[in-house]
Amino acid sequence: MSAEVNIPRLDLHDYTKGSAEQRKQFSDAIGKAFNDTGFVTIANHGMTRELMDELYAEVKRFFSLTEEQKLKYEVLGLAGQRGYTSKGREKAKDSKTPDLKEFWQSGQVVTDGDAIKSEYPDNVMVEELPVFNSITREVYQRLEEAGKHLLRAIAVYLNLPENYFDDKVHNGNSILRAIHYFPIVDPDSLPADAVRAGAHEDINLITLLIGASADGLEVLTRDGNWFAVKANAEDIVVNVGDMLQRLTNNKLKSTTHRVVNPPRELMKNSRYSVPFFLHPKSTMDLTALDSCIDAQHPKAYTDITAGEYLDERLREIGLKM
């Protein structure tokens, strides 16, 4: 393992249920990792192994529907933010070749009368799979809750008030994505640069990824090498997104990562993964924190809101025209 790689395994209970010392150790550890590679693995995140297994079973059922059935749920005017997105639509920034995947997205459901409800389209319901609808909603809520605790630990590391992010992510524009990296039946017919997910950085504050059904996730280390990320089956992988990197003026790293194609003998196998992209409200100001700017670290980014930045990035990756 490269000396530059620091992907520790942390227990969220140390922060949510631990002593003051355990909470500080957790905050310091997640801050150090996010300052280094931008990735950690998290145990005791609020989901059982049974729930995760059931989720993946439902995800496989959805992607096993016929093309005709799935295309009923593709709403082109929503830039992939709700429902189904078919093959060949999303690509990595600066890539001309689409990723080898199709995906489903569910978003925020506002239930407390917040006026922000008008900003969000309704989630798309799959008629054929009522359990898929209910379990994706439950997983969304559990990962959103875990994400709020992780952001509190990050706020403490940044010497901000612990609840700094709370009002910014309450009813935020977070997305649960179910991805199917479909079988590669004829690899020789593909463009040379066609991969399951091209090298990219996530857009949002943090991403919480439920362990994928197969290997393939790699992160780019500081010394320029690709490192395979492997998590215990019951853990989630958490990484920094570009919004948090901008806010902290590069103190916390939005690390480049990708999903590589499998060995040739495994190319006919599907790969599934379910990331939760934790977004704030569109009005959140991503202007770099004063505490993260000094003579050695001058301000690196122009001022922008989360909504403006999301719109910019959706256009770059081909989901919005």
Mean pLDDT over 31-46 rounds to 92
Write down the mean pLDDT value for the chain: 93
On whether residue 2 sits in a domain, the answer given is no
Least confident piece of the model among 1-10, 116-125, 165-174: 1-10
Count how many Cα atoms sit within 13 Å of the Cα of residue 194 in the half-sphere of its side chain: 17
Where residue 321 falls among pLDDT bands split at 50, 70, 90? low
pLDDT per residue over 206-251, tens digit each? 999 998 888 899 999 888 899 998 877 789 999 999 999 999 999 9
pLDDT of residue 5: 66
CATH number of the domain to which 154 belongs: 2.60.120.330
On whether residue 4 sits in a domain, the answer given is no
pLDDT more than 70, % of the chain: 98
Where residue 202 falls among pLDDT bands split at 50, 70, 90? very high
Which residue range forms the structural domain that includes residue 99? 9-316
DSSP string, 232-252: -TT-EEEEE-HHHHHHTTTSS
pTM value?
0.94
pLDDT of residue 249: 98
Total structural domains within the chain: 1
Distance from the first to the final alpha carbon of the chain: 41
Where residue 188 falls among pLDDT bands split at 50, 70, 90? confident
On whether residue 49 sits in a domain, the answer given is yes
On whether residue 321 sits in a domain, the answer given is no
On whether residue 1 sits in a domain, the answer given is no
pLDDT of residue 301: 97
